[in-house]
Amino acid sequence: MTTPIAGVGGIGAALPIAPVAPASTPAVTGPSESFASMLSDGLENLQKVQGRADELAVQAANGTLSDPAAYTMASTEAALATQLTVAVRNKAVEAFTEIMRMQA
Mean pLDDT by groups of 10 residues along the chain of 104 residues = 50 52 58 81 94 96 93 96 94 95 86
Do the domain assignments include residue 77? Answer: yes
With respect to residue 16, please indicate whether it lies within any of the assigned structural domains.
no
| pLDDT for res 15 | 47
C-alpha of 82 from chain center: 15
In a domain, 74, yes or no: yes
> Does a structural domain hold residue 97?
yes
Q: What is the pLDDT of residue 34?
A: 86
- Domain span at 89: 33-104
Residue 7 lies in a domain: no
Radius of gyration of the chain, Cα coordinates, nearest whole angstrom: 28
Q: What's the total number of domains in the chain? A: 1
Give the separation between CA 77 and CA 83, rounded to whole angstroms. 10
Domain-located, residue 4: no
Is residue 26 one of the residues assigned to a domain? no
Residue 94, in any domain of the structure:
yes
Contacts of 84 (CB under 8 A, 6+ apart): none
